[in-house]
Chains A and B, each alone.
Chain A
């Protein structure tokens, strides 16, 4: 048993210790490089993300406020939200029986616009009896009068259903939901009372004969930016918007002003 070990060619304990020491030093260095790289990546990512979200929100809000017809929110003191009457769309009113439909398409009558994309971004109300459904038009072909909506109909309408487009009174509201900036499209109408008309949108602020406010209808609500920790909107016609965007340790302040051309 003992003899078997005597002729061994091998590595001494000291050699192993030195080898382990050196290799662990190398591993340590490589690991610290990995850590530094990871940190730099996370920092760079946070910086880019913060900048991107801030830029997108500010660009989008200023573009829409510049065209706004009317600002609803009181901005004489700093507000954390803004609601205004959208001024980007052409004022269109269309109403008739559905001429044809697919899973997510609808055909309008012959007098509908011949211009492609004319009804894009407008909302179509589909109704029959007590049933109604609103969909956003994302594409329109002027020659076939076929509009494509953003999602499938709950019920594919036949010729007994009516459609209605009324783009005169869409209101856009930007507000913070936690750290998400949301863009909501709203419309107002009277669903009961003396001015009851489910088919007509009315301006914000009007009241019916009884002094009742119109009912709110949410047409769309989407998150358009993240990591927004604070928002401050102030001003009459010249509206200043200040954003604070934060991800991890990175905080960015962005601000600009916009003069509403129609205000």
Chain B
């Protein structure tokens, strides 16, 4: 019943298959670019998660030190935190001079400076992030 009229079709103005294929290809490239942003967003979230964990681990160590007797406050070398394999902690203890703007000194004048460091690998690239909490403690 239906007859094709080829002469009419030759003059048709439209989009060729190749054009469509090219268009779809370009569209796909654009979409891939947009999609690649999502994991990036998740990684940024991960960065703040690690910073939060590190901040709690730093506070944890500081509270531990504050609960100690003055004499027991000594350096602690850099070690991996148990249960948190990505994080490492270090404590540096030095004497400060109360009469010299709290400048570091070699002798014990009754005040110690406690510095807690937390280190962890950055989510992006291979760099390392760190955090430092400092406080002073006087002999009682």
Give A contacts to B, CB under 8 Å: 2, 5-9, 12, 18, 22, 25-26, 29-30, 33, 36-37, 40, 43-44, 47-48, 51, 54-55, 58, 62, 237-238, 240, 252-259
Contacts and interface: CB of A to CB of B under 8 A. Distances in A.
Nearest to B53: A254
Nearest to B59: A256
Given A40-B42, A55-B52, A254-B53, A33 B31 contact: yes
Given A18-B17, A44-B42, 9 more contacts: A5-B2, A6-B3, A7-B5, A22-B20, A40-B41, A238-B67, A253-B83, A255-B60, A256-B63
Interface in B28-77: 28, 31, 34-35, 38-39, 41-42, 45-46, 48-49, 52-53, 56-57, 59-60, 63-64, 66-67
B56 A47 contact: no
Contact of A51 (B1, B20, B34, B48): B48
Contacts, number: 79
30 contacts: A5-B2, A5-B3, A6-B5, A7-B5, A8-B2, A9-B8, A12-B4, A18-B17, A22-B24, A29-B27, A33-B34, A36-B35, A37-B35, A37-B38, A40-B42, A47-B42, A47-B45, A48-B45, A51-B49, A51-B52, A54-B52, A58-B56, A237-B67, A238-B63, A254-B56, A255-B56, A255-B83, A256-B57, A256-B63, A259-B64
Give the interface size bracket for B toward A: 20 to 34
A259 B46 contact: no
A18 B21 CA distance: 11
Contact of A40 (B38, B48, B59): B38
Please classify the interface of chain B as helix (H, G, I), strand (E, B), loop, or mixed, using the class held by over half of its residues: helix
Nearest to B11: A9
Given A238-B64, A238-B67, A259-B64, A26 B56 contact: no
Given A5-B1, A58-B56, A255-B56, A47 B46 contact: yes
Nearest to A6: B3
B59 A44 contact: no
Interface in B62-112: 63-64, 66-67, 83-84
A255 B55 CA distance: 10
Interface of B: 1-5, 8, 17, 20, 24, 27-28, 31, 34-35, 38-39, 41-42, 45-46, 48-49, 52-53, 56-57, 59-60, 63-64, 66-67, 83-84
Given A26-B24, A254-B53, A259 B63 contact: yes
Contacts of B4: 12
Given A40-B42, A258-B63, A252 B24 contact: no
A256 B17 contact: no
A244 B100 CA distance: 46
Contacts of B53: 254
A238 B62 CA distance: 11
Given A12-B4, A257-B60, A26 B42 contact: no
Nearest to B3: A6
Contact of A259 (B41, B52, B66): B66
A253 B84 CA distance: 9
A62 B55 CA distance: 13
B45 A8 contact: no
A26 B34 contact: no
A151 B8 CA distance: 82
A254 to B, nearest CB: 6
B67 A44 contact: no
A40 B67 contact: no
